[in-house]
Copies of this chain bind each other. A is one copy, B any other.
Amino acid sequence: MTNSNLQYRDLHIGVFDSGIGGLTVLAELKKNLPNEKFYYLGDTARVPYGTRSPETVIRYARSCTNFLIKKGIKLLIIACNTASSFALDTIRKEINVPVIGVVEPGAKAVIKKTKNKRVGIIGTEGTISSQSYEKVIKNIASDIRIFPKACPLFVPLVEEGWTEGEIPSLVVSEYLTPIIEEGIDTLLLACTHYPLLKRTIKNTFKEFSVEIVDSAEETAVEVVNLLQSCNLMRKDIKISNENRIEYFVTDAPEKFKKIGNRFLKENIEYVEWIDIPVNI
């Protein structure tokens, strides 16, 4: 192990998302990687990515990536389903740091878990219409039948904090009944906001035996594997929670803190507002 190797593995892990949703991925990473330091960038000036065109999402993802690369990172995590769907290949070609998105880990997990080979995938319009999960799944297991469904109201429900009760149950039922009735045994949450609706989804369809797969959890598993394989884990003693994550947003830091606490299940103390140019 060289000295430069030692320095390199001490760098932060960079995580970006269109806004706060990626915090569900960060929460899993924190839990699984107690020695690592993170930069989290939420592109809140341009959120949501889910309704935008592929070209626009690629431009936004590139500007987020450039910011984190300049900070100095050893690994980049695109903690946003839409950006992973549209921009992962482009970003991988453009930078020298390994890149992990949320699509591949989620796709591989449902392939492992489904028994009847009928899988539901729910996400934003962008993620669903990109068919990114379908492409990865079909490439590995062409016999799996996929039932995709865009659920545009889930993100605003979660951001409003309406994750349990009559209204979220009805919205969940309205969107998911058609794909549950197709006999799926596995449901992939292909949006980082959706884990906060997991309990309501389970309760709404409790008489069906559907296993819920969460891309955030699966991504954290893949990150641990990669850091171990490449000998890139930090070896320090466990660092304190306060110092190990730095938060950046492109707009409205106070709102990010307020809603972010719900996603991260702990208080976010400080968020830095940054301006990043897009037309690059």
Contact surface of A with B, Cβ cutoff 8 Å: 44-47, 51-53, 56, 152-153, 155-157, 159-160, 162, 166-167, 170-171, 174, 251-252, 255, 275, 277-279
Copy number in the complex reads 2
- In the assembled complex, the Cα of A277 lies from the Cα of B59 at a distance in Å of 13
Task: Determine the distance from Cα of A45 to Cα of B278 in the docked complex, in whole angstroms.
Answer: 11
Q: List 26 A-B contacts (CB under 8 A).
A: A44-B52, A45-B46, A45-B52, A45-B56, A46-B46, A47-B51, A51-B252, A51-B255, A52-B252, A53-B251, A53-B252, A56-B251, A56-B252, A152-B156, A152-B159, A153-B153, A153-B156, A153-B160, A153-B162, A155-B156, A156-B156, A167-B167, A167-B170, A167-B171, A277-B279, A278-B278
Instruction: Please pick, from B56, B166, B252, the residue contacting A170 in the complex, using a CB distance under 8 A.
Output: B166
In the complex formed, the residue of B with least CB distance to A273 is B53
In the bound complex, CA of A277 to CA of B280 (Å):
11
Residue of B nearest to A129 (CB): B255
> Which among A47, A156, A275 has the highest number of chain B CB atoms within 10 Å?
A156
A173, closest chain B residue (CB): B167
**Secondary structure type dominating chain A contacts:** loop
Q: Tell me, in angstroms, the Cα distance from A277 to B47 when the chains sit together.
A: 17
Please give me the residue from chain B that is nearest to A171 by CB atom: B167
User: Which of A56, A162, A166 has its CB near the most chain B CB atoms (within 10 A)?
Assistant: A56
* Set of chain B residues within 8 Å of A251, measured between Cβ atoms: 52-53, 56
By a CB distance below 8 angstroms, the chain B residues around A167 are 167, 170-171, 174
Contacts of A162 in B (CB 8 A): 153
Complex Cα distance A174/B51, Å?
Answer: 26
**In the complex, the 8 A-B pairs of residues with the closest C-beta atoms, listed nearest first:** A156-B156, A53-B252, A56-B251, A52-B251, A152-B160, A167-B170, A53-B251, A153-B156
Residue of B nearest to A46 (CB): B46
**Cα distance A251–B255 when bound, in Å?**
25
CB distance from A19 to the nearest CB of B (A): 9
Residues of chain B contacted by A53 (CB below 8 angstroms): 251-252
Alpha-carbon gap, A80 to B273, bound state (A): 25
CA distance A252 to B160 in the complex (A): 26
Q: How far is the CB of A217 from chain B (nearest CB, A)?
A: 26
For A150, give the chain B residue with the smallest CB separation: B160
Chain B hits for A153, CB < 8 A: 153, 156-157, 160, 162
The answer for the CA separation of A252 and B51 in the assembled complex, in Å, is 8
